[in-house]
Amino acid sequence: MNTALREYHAPVWNEPVILEMGYPGRRGIVFAEVEKDVQAVSGSIDGLIPANMRRAKKPALPEMSEPEVLYHYLRLSQQTLGMMNISLFGTCTMKYNAQINEAMAWRPEMTEVHPYQDEDTLQGSLEIVHGMDTILRELSGMDQFIFQAGGGADAAYTSCAVTRAYHASRGELAQRNEIITTIQTHPSSAATAAAAGFKVITLMLEENGYPSLESLKAAVSERTAALMLNNPDDMGVYNPEIREWVRIVHEAGGLCFYDHANFNGAMTKIRARELGFDACMFMLHKTFGAPKSGVGGPAVGAYGCSAELAPFLPAPVVAFDGERYSLDYDRPLSSGKIREFWGNVPVILKAYAWSRAMGAEGMAEASDISVLANNYMERGLLAIRGVTRSHPDATTPRLEMTRYSLQQLKEDTGVDVHDVQNRMSDFGIDPMWSSHHPWLIPEPFTPEAGEMYGKEALDTWIAVLAHVVEEAYNNPEIVKTAPHNQAIHRLKGASIDDPQHWAMTWRAYQRKKQGT
């Protein structure tokens, strides 16, 4: 493969923070004087504000015109978003977000509704939510979905709450206080299980890339409340013994939850309910074409379950009687709200539009391309000096992602995975995902090709990594001191954890940096 690398340099602006800008008296908008007739009726505004609530002096806000504010934030956006090029952010399924879906989500029919409106005025919104519910039922085999959860961890917690309510209804909650997961399941499963009051049992990986049946049997008991795992896991390994896992947990009286965060390579190929699972979760902001929630939202963790567990779902549930949609709050066994109202509806709309546009055949093709692209990348990446694969002796193919290691590179050159991330960004490659903690594989990285990038983009990604690796062997300092072509250089991480250095407000910044 002989792929020419493009020259890249991020835009750089010597841009101050907004609070350091402005000129006295400048305004973005100038309000007209209140008409005398209006003032005669309402009185002076001074009389409407209690004296003890009035400012003693004007707030220290920047005084700027509207164009100055606009240009400032445009320059910042060019620095921070100017390198949105090839992003294979593993375990997060970065997809193209269709602009038509974004436009629909900004229509007033979506942005100006309120969940407390009369249901007769919400029929369109409720139809979309119910429509997404039925699509996910088809993909999973489950009987009911809700969308309250604001992301994957919220959905995992929803499952813990439903599990708790289910066992409580049977008088077994005091006894069933353990949830089993695996070390390579998403950390939110263990975290939310603990937050919900359960003891967590974590199974370790073995030679074939997943825990053995023997270790599961040793962990299962009359105390087992549930099994929580994702499959394939974040290394791309699919556990072929999953049906037997479910059978063992069910025989002990526990429930089984399937985290479908890594569903992209398995779309239309497996259905969680047919594997025996009682509940599952999908990431609408990953797999289903809505924007990735890199900073905490908006996101939706769609949670679905069997008819047996449906009475314990958080309320309300969107119902349809064949003619009219409604919000069902009358759920006496409900586990209680996980979040306010009924979820991030604009995200549901985007996922619904994506699903309808793709259809079953489109999803199946996307899944095939995702798996093909990942295995194509694996051949190219493993040909690079210093790159190895997790569980190299396991012969089963990886699905939508593969966990690699740069440990050999670090031993040979002293260059670690974070150095490589920074240097790859100098070529217009979004920093690759390393791994959730704990790092089971030293110096890990986990690209996920997905279905949206062409072969040429994947070749470029591989070529950039190969180039950086060669730099590490020939001139390690250029990699260790990267990035060189970004708007700012590498941040010093130590000060981020030091409260004497960082400041969350402008007032704190002035106090700490300027002594004012």
Query: Which domains are seen in the chain, by residue range?
Result: 18-81 (no CATH), 126-355 (3.40.640.10), 358-495 (3.90.1150.10)
Q: Where are the beta strands (DSSP E) in 419-470?
A: 444-445
The two tokens of residue 252 are 């002990």
Would you state the pLDDT for residue 212?
Answer: 95
Q: Between vectors from CA 342 to CA 338 and to CA 345, what angle results, nearest 5°?
A: 125
DSSP states along 178-240 = EEEEETTS-HHHHHHHHHTT-EEEEEPP-TTSS--HHHHHHH-STTEEEEEEESS-TTS---T
Q: Name the phi and psi angles at 351, rounded to 5.
A: -65, -40
Return the closest-CA partner of residue 363 out of 131, 134, 136, 105. 136
Buried b or exposed e, range 157-179, using 16+ CB within 10 angstroms: bbbbbbbbbbbeeeeebeebebb
Percent helix, strand, coil in the chain, to 5, is: 40, 10, 50
> CA-to-CA distance for 376 and 232, rounded, in angstroms?
18
Would you state the pLDDT for residue 308?
Answer: 98
Return the closest-CA partner of residue 97 out of 282, 360, 296, 294. 294
The dihedral through the CA atoms of 186, 233, 167, 321 has a sign that is positive
Please provide the distance, in angstroms rounded to a whole number, between the alpha carbons at the two ends of the chain. 59
CB atoms within 10 A of CB 421: 19
Would you state the pLDDT for residue 293?
Answer: 64
Bridge partner residues of 447 (DSSP) = 89
Return the closest-CA partner of residue 180 out of 152, 221, 233. 221
> pLDDT by residue (tens digit) across 293-333?
655 568 899 999 999 999 999 999 999 999 999 999 999 99
Would you state the pLDDT for residue 213?
Answer: 96
Average pLDDT for consecutive 10-residue bins of the chain (516 residues)?
83 89 91 87 81 87 94 87 73 84 92 92 96 98 96 94 97 97 92 96 92 97 97 90 97 97 93 98 92 71 97 96 95 92 92 96 95 94 96 81 96 97 91 87 94 91 97 97 87 75 82 71
Would you state the pLDDT for residue 83?
Answer: 53
> pLDDT by residue (tens digit) across 166-222?
999 999 999 999 999 999 998 999 999 999 999 999 999 998 889 999 999 999 999
Buried b or exposed e, range 487-497, using 16+ CB within 10 angstroms: beeeeeeeeee
- Write the DSSP symbol of residue 89: B
> pLDDT by residue (tens digit) across 470-507?
999 999 999 999 999 988 887 777 777 777 777 888 88
> CA-to-CA distance for 351 and 92, rounded, in angstroms?
15
CB atoms within 10 A of CB 117: 10
> CA-to-CA distance for 140 and 150, rounded, in angstroms?
20
